[in-house]
C-alpha cells in the first residue's frame, strides 16, 4: 500500500484533522511515511487565517512540485483543509502538479479520493462541497506522538489527546475567514463525544482538549436538518425548533447551563480521565455557568485561552466581536475570583482597519490590566470575502509592524514576570514520557524562561522526606 506524509499548518483543529485523516488512511492499509522524501502521497493541511499561512503552504507545494515530482513523478500531491476549502479549483489552476484538493467537510473521504486516483478512475479531485454530518467524522486517533507514528518504533504512551466537538462558526467577525472555510456551526452529540473520550482514556490518555472554532457555542445552533434515528420520524415531520446535540429537550439552556457546560460535566464523569482543557471559547458566550464550572469541576485545568482581539470598544464593535472591554474584564475578574492562579492567555490583532494610536493605547492598557500569562499577537491580514478587507481605512504595513513590536514587547515583559513568579512554587505536571527513575508527578519550579518553566521533582521528594 502507498505511504502518506501529512504536513500541518495552523491551529490545533488542523492538527486534529490531520491526525484523524492519518488514522483513517492507516485503517485502510496506508502506511505513514516518516518524511516527504519517501512518501507516495504528500498532503498539506492548510490554514487560511492569515495570508502568511497561505503563502507558506503555497510555497511548500511549489517546492514539492519542483523537487519531489521531478525525481518521483508518481507521487500524489494534495491540499486539504481551510485553504483547500476557500480556493478550491483555483489551486490546481495555479499549481497544475496538484492532484487533490480536499475541503473541510470532506476530510473523511480522503482515502476514497486517493483510491480513485491510484486506480486511475479520476485524474484530479477537487471536493469542497458541504456535507451534512461531517462534524461527526473526525473521531479516529493514532495515539502516538503527533505526526510521528512511524511503524516499528515504540513510542511512549500518549497521555494527552485532542477531541473535536464541533465545526464551524456563526460569529462572523469582520476580519475572519473561518466562517467561510469551516462553514456553519455544527455540533457532535454529547454521547458521541463522551464515547470517544472514554475510548481514549481506556488507551492511556489522561488529558483531553475539547476543540472547536467557538466552543462556547457548542450545541446552541438549531440544526437545519438534524440527522435523526428512524424513531425520530414523527418529530421530524413537524417543523419544530430543535437544537443539536440536546435531542431530548430542544432548548439550548437548561438549569442555567449551556450545552457546553453540560458537555464538560459529562466528560468530567469519565473515570480515569484526569484533566480537561478546551479551546477556543468566545468571550460573548462565556457565561457565569462556565466560570462556575471551574469551581465545580476539579478536572478542568485552571487555564483559559480567551481571545480579546482588541482593548478598544470602537474596534471591538467594528470587528463584530459582540462584547465590550468592560464585559471582557468582567469575565477575567470572575475567573480570578474562582481561582486567583488561573492562567489566562489571549489572541490580539494589531492594525485592524481604522485602528488609531488611541485604540492601541486601549489595547496596551488592557494587556497591563489583565496581566496575560501569554498572548498571541497577530498583524492584521486582509482576508478575501471579509467585511474588514473592504473597509476604507486600512492601516499602513509599517505602522502595523511598529505597533506589533510594541505590543509584543509588553506581552513578553508581563509573561516573563508571571513565569518568574512561579519559581519556587510546587505544581502538578502531566508526564508525557516515562521517567526511568522517578514516579513523582509534582515538581518544584526552579527556573523560568520566556516560554518554558524548568523544575526539579527531586526537590519535592526531599521536601516530603524532610516533613516526615
Ligand atoms: N488577521 C490577523 N489575525 C487574524 N486572526 C484571525 N483572523 C485574522 C486576520 N484576518 C487571529 C485572531 C484569532 C487567531 C486564531 O487568529 O486573533 O483569534
Distance 11 CA to ligand 1 centre (A): 11
How far, in Å, CA of 349 to CA of 376, rounded?
9
Pocket probe mutation, ligand 1, options 9, 55, 175, 372, max atoms within 8 Å of Cβ = 175
Contacts of 229 (CB under 8 A, 6+ apart): none
**Lowest pLDDT segment from 157-161, 230-234, 299-303:** 230-234
Ligand 1 atom closest to Cα of residue 381: 1
Give the distance (Å) from ligand 1 centre to CA of residue 253. Answer: 29
Centroid of ligand 1 to alpha carbon of 382 (angstroms): 10
| Nearest in space to 54 (alpha carbons), one of 76, 78, 86 | 86
* 359/311 Cα distance (integer angstroms): 7
| Distance in Å, CA 314 to ligand 1 centroid | 18
pLDDT per position as a tens digit, 318-355: 999 999 999 999 999 999 999 999 999 999 999 999 99
Task: Report the helix count and the strand count for the chain, using DSSP H and E.
Answer: 15, 17
CB-ligand 1 contact for 380 (6 Å cutoff): yes
Model confidence over 195-229: pLDDT tens digits? 999 999 999 999 999 999 999 999 998 654 444 34
**309 in ligand 1 pocket by Cβ < 6 Å?**
yes
Assess whether pLDDT exceeds 50 at residue 244. Answer: no
Most ligand 1 atoms within 8 A of CB, residue of 12, 15, 48, 50 to mutate: 50
Q: Which residues contact 453 (CB under 8 A, 6 or more apart)?
A: 419, 422, 427, 445, 447
pTM of the model: 0.88
Q: Is 305 in the pocket of ligand 1 (CB under 6 A)?
A: no
User: Taking CA 369 as the corner, what is the angle to CA 366 and CA 370, rounded to the nearest 5 degrees?
Assistant: 85
Q: Does ligand 1 lie within 6 Å of residue 283's CB atom?
A: no
Torsional sign, CA 15, 20, 23, 24: negative
Pocket of ligand 1 contains residue 175 by CB under 6 Å: yes
**Whether the Cβ atoms of residue 377 and residue 409 lie closer than 8 Å to each other:** no
User: Is the shortest distance between the CB of 352 and ligand 1 below 6 Å?
Assistant: no
Q: Which residues contact 313 (CB under 8 A, 6 or more apart)?
A: 324, 325, 362
Please work out whether the CB of residue 49 comes within 6 Å of at least one atom of ligand 1: yes
Q: Is 50 in the pocket of ligand 1 (CB under 6 A)?
A: yes
For atom 13 of ligand 1, the residue with the nearest CA is 347
Centre of ligand 1 to C-alpha 387, Å, is: 14
Residue 424 gets which letter from DSSP?
T
Q: Which atom of ligand 1 lies at the shortest distance from residue 176's CA?
A: 7
Query: What's the pLDDT tens digit per position in 15-35?
Result: 999 999 999 999 999 999 999
Among protein residues, the one with the nearest Cα to ligand 1's atom 7 is 176
Instruction: State the distance from the centre of ligand 1 to the C-alpha of 381, rounded, in angstroms.
Output: 8
Report CA dihedral (314, 315, 317, 321) to the nearest 10 degrees: -140
Decide which of 279 and 456 is more confident.
279
Q: Which residues pair with 277 in a beta bridge?
A: 209
| pLDDT on residue 230 | 37
Q: Output helix, strand, coil percentages for the chain, rounded to the nearest 5.
A: 40, 15, 40
Which atom of ligand 1 is found nearest the CA of 177?
7
Strands (E), 371-432: 374-379, 426-428
Query: Does ligand 1 come within 6 angstroms of the Cβ of 374?
Result: no
Q: Whose CA is nearest to atom 5 of ligand 1?
A: 49
Query: Could you tell me the distance, in angstroms and rounded to a whole number, from the CA of residue 411 to the centre of ligand 1?
Result: 17
What pLDDT shows up at residue 256? 85
Q: Does residue 331 sit in helix, strand or coil?
A: helix
Residue 56, classed as helix, strand or coil, is: helix
Rounded CA-CA distance 258/287 in Å is: 8
Is the CB of 182 within 6 Å of ligand 1?
no
Q: In testing the pocket of ligand 1, which one of 10, 13, 48, 49 has its CB within 8 Å of the most ligand atoms? A: 49
Sorting pLDDT into bands at 50, 70 and 90, what band is 241?
very low
Angle between the N-to-C axes of helices 288-296 and 325-338, in degrees from 0 to 180, rounded to the nearest 10: 20
pLDDT, tens digit (0-9, with 9 covering 90-100), for 39-85:
999 999 999 999 999 999 999 999 999 999 889 999 999 999 999 99
Which has more confidence, 433 or 330? Answer: 330
Q: pLDDT digits over 358-408, tens only? A: 999 999 999 999 999 999 999 999 999 999 999 999 999 999 999 999 999
Q: Rounded CA gap, 88 and 68, in Å?
A: 23
Burial class (CB in 10 A: 0-12, 13-18, 19+), 3: middle
450 class by beta-carbon count within 10 Å (0-12 exposed, 13-18 middle, 19+ buried): exposed
Q: Is the model's pLDDT at 435 over the cut of 80?
A: no
pLDDT tier at 436, thresholds 50, 70, 90? low
Q: What are phi and psi of 40, to 5 degrees?
A: -85, -25
Q: What is the pLDDT of residue 255?
A: 81
Once rounded to an integer, what is the mean pLDDT over residues 306-314? 98
Which of ligand 1's atoms lies nearest the C-alpha of 382?
10
149 CA from centroid of ligand 1 (Å): 31
Q: What is the pLDDT of residue 272?
A: 97
Please tell me the predicted confidence (pLDDT) of residue 152: 44
347 and 313 Cβ atoms separated by less than 8 Å? no
Q: How far apart are CA 277 and CA 294, in angstroms?
A: 11
Q: Which three cell numbers stand for residue 272?
A: 480515569
Is the predicted pLDDT of residue 468 greater than 70, yes or no? no
Mean pLDDT of the chain: 89
248-281 pLDDT tens trace = 334 577 788 999 999 999 999 999 999 999 999 9
Using the mean position of ligand 1's atoms as its centre, give its distance from the Cα of residue 42 in Å. 27
Residue 282 has pLDDT above 70, yes or no: yes
Quick check: CB of 378 below 6 Å from ligand 1?
yes
Q: Does residue 144 surpass a pLDDT of 50? A: yes
Strands 100-102 and 186-187: unpaired
Band of the pLDDT at 239, cuts 50, 70, 90?
very low
Residue 441 pLDDT greater than 80, yes or no:
no
The string of pLDDT tens digits covering residues 148-162 is 444 444 555 789 999
Alpha carbons 101 and 85: distance in angstroms, whole number? 8
Amino acid at each position: 500500500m502507498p505511504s502518506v506524509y501529512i504536513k500541518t499548518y495552523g491551529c490545533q483543529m488542523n492538527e486534529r484533522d490531520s491526525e484523524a485523516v492519518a488514522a483513517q488512511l492507516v485503517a485502510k492499509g496506508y502506511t505513514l511515511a516518516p518524511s516527504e522524501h519517501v512518501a507516495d502521497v504528500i498532503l498539506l493541511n492548510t490554514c487560511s487565517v492569515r495570508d502568511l499561512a497561505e503563502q507558506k503552504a503555497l510555497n511548500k507545494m511549489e517546492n514539492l512540485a519542483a523537487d519531489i515530482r521531478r525525481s518521483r513523478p508518481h507521487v500524489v500531491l494534495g491540499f486539504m483543509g481551510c485553504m483547500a476549502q476557500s480556493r478550491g479549483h483555483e489551486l490546481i489552476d495555479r499549481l497544475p502538479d496538484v492532484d487533490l484538493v480536499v475541503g473541510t467537510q470532506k476530510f473523511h473521504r480522503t482515502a476514497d479520493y486517493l483510491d480513485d486516483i491510484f486506480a486511475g478512475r479520476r485524474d484530479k479531485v477537487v471536493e469542497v462541497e458541504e456535507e451534512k454530518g461531517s462534524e461527526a467524522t473526525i473521531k479516529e486517533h493514532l495515539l502516538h506522538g503527533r505526526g510521528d507514528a512511524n511503524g516499528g518504533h515504540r513510542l511512549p504512551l500518549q497521555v494527552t489527546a485532542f477531541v473535536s466537538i464541533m465545526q464551524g462558526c456563526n460569529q462572523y467577525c469582520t476580519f475572519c475567514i473561518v466562517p467561510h472555510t469551516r462553514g456553519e456551526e455544527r455540533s457532535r452529540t454529547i454521547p458521541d463525544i463522551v464515547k470517544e473520550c472514554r475510548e481514549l482514556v481506556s488507551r492511556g490518555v489522561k488529558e483531553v482538549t475539547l476543540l472547536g472554532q467557538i466552543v462556547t457555542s457548542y450545541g446552541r445552533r438549531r440544526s437545519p436538518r438534524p440527522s435523526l434515528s428512524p424513531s425520530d420520524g414523527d418529530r421530524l415531520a413537524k417543523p419544530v425548533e430543535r437544537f443539536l446535540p440536546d435531542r431530548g429537550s430542544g432548548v439550548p439552556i437548561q438549569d442555567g447551563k449551556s450545552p457546553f457546560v453540560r458537555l464538560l460535566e459529562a466528560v468530567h464523569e469519565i473515570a480515569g480521565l484526569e484533566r480537561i482543557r478546551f479551546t477556543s471559547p468566545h468571550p460573548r458566550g462565556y457565561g457565569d455557568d462556565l466560570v462556575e464550572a471551574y469551581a465545580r469541576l476539579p478536572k478542568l485545568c485552571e487555564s483559559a485561552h480567551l481571545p480579546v482581539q482588541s482593548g478598544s470598544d470602537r474596534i471591538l464593535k467594528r470587528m463584530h466581536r459582540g462584547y465590550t472591554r468592560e464585559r471582557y474584564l468582567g469575565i477575567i475578574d470572575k475567573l480570578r475570583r474562582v481561582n486567583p492562579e488561573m492562567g489566562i492567555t489571549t489572541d490580539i490583532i494589531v492594525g485592524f482597519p481604522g485602528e488609531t494610536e488611541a485604540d492601541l493605547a486601549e489595547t496596551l492598557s488592557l494587556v497591563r490590566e489583565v496581566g496575560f500569562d501569554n498572548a498571541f499577537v497577530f498583524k492584521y491580514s486582509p482576508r478575501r470575502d471579509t467585511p474588514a478587507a473592504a473597509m476604507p481605512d486600512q492601516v499602513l504595513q509599517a505602522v502595523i509592524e511598529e505597533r506589533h513590536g510594541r505590543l509584543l514587547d509588553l506581552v513578553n515583559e508581563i509573561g516573563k514576570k508571571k513565569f518568574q513568579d512561579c519559581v519556587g512554587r510546587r505544581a502538578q505536571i502531566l508526564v508525557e514520557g516515562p521517567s526511568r527513575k522517578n514516579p513523582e508527578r509534582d515538581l518544584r519550579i526552579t527556573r523560568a524562561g520566556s516560554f518554558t518553566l524548568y523544575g526539579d521533582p527531586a526537590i519535592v521528594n526531599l521536601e516530603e522526606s524532610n516533613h516526615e
